[in-house]
Amino acid sequence: MKGDSRSASEGAQRTTFEVEKEDEGLRLDQLVARRVPGLSRQRARLVIELGGVFVDRARVKILGRRLQSGARVEVNLGGALERASKRLGAAARARDTESLPPYAIVHEDDSIVVVEKPARLLTAPTPESDRHNLADLLGRRLRRRVWVVHRLDLETSGLLVFAKTGEAGRVLASAFRSHDVEREYLAAVAGEEAPQEGQIEAPVGGRSAVSHVSVLEPLAEGAWLVRVRLETGRTHQVRIHMRGVDHPVLGDLRYGWRTRSDPPRLALHACRLGFRHPVTGESLSFESPWPADLAAWLDRLRGRDQAKRTYAAESSSSSSNEGSSGIS
């Protein structure tokens, strides 16, 4: 039985195998359940329905498809399977879509659409699924294909631009590759001492990467609010660079650690996006404030920090008064 099982992406598992003579005549859901360890027939059907199965590199969603020996099958398991309703059918998938966090279109014209992505919504299709992502939702809403130009992590919120034509997509992709765009993030990071302001230059994934950090304000419980401007745009660049200087983004369980001030999700937000319009050449710039789902958490940290400062100031004043009284 030829096959292998390995990590496909963060939190995902990929299993590949070749259809053998003895497998001929089996339905695809039967074959996947038989060949993927620990996968029931019901879950095999769900994986296929979500779009997590490829046959000879093409995504296949037909449960009853029968394969010939020699066909190469790839099965992708992970977050998409865990987030989906366990029921099968169009109604279940529609409920999954309805449960997704809402996004907002902040700019649209004939060539581009700029969107504010919420946390816990994928940017684009993955090997695990072509459903329940922002590109798919936009395509359905606009009734046309959209081209993915860049991405934000699942737990990161903020601004993204999509192209509405292939030519606009090519121009924008070129601008992102040459770093001819402006990208800034707001992040709450850990650290008893203030992060050092200035440039961080350290490779990410074996490629050069440069970030510029400025401190906006101190927060309570060993936390800081910072602004990070990207000179390059590598995958997880902000998270990796801030961890590299011992100030990991709060809520980052991959590159950081748990703290007493953990947020409800990754405290990272793409707050500014600037680029030249792919058709007119006009300079465009968009800004997005700190997200609402982290606002109450940030206010609590600000309140605790203010209370701590007030207490320290009152204690200092009291000590000073006592000292003066003793001298007189």
Region of 191 please: left (phi>0), alpha (psi -120 to 50) or beta.
left
Task: Measure the CA–CA gap between 36 and 17, rounded to whole angstroms.
Answer: 9
96 is known as an active-site residue: no
| Phi, psi (rounded to 5 degrees) for 224 | -140, 145
Cα four-point dihedral sign 139, 142, 145, 149: negative
Burial code (b: 16+ CB inside 10 Å, e: under 16) for 165-177 equals: beebbebbbebee
Task: Measure the CA–CA gap between 36 and 46, rounded to whole angstroms.
Answer: 13
Q: What angle do CA 83, 85, 89 make, to 5 degrees?
A: 135
The secondary structure element, H or E, covering residue 186 is: strand 182-190
Crossing angle of the two packed helices 28-35 and 41-50, in degrees rounded to 10: 120
List, as one string, the DSSP characters of 215-279. EEEEETTTEEEEEEEESS--TTHHHHHHHHTT-PBTT-TTTS---TT--SS--EEEEEEEEE-TT
Among the listed residues 23, 29, 96, 153, the single catalytic one is: 153
List, as one string, the DSSP characters of 18-63. E--GGGTT-BHHHHHHHHSTT--HHHHHHHHHHT-EEETTEE---T
**Which amino acid is residue 273, in one-letter code?**
L
- Kindly list the catalytic residues: 153
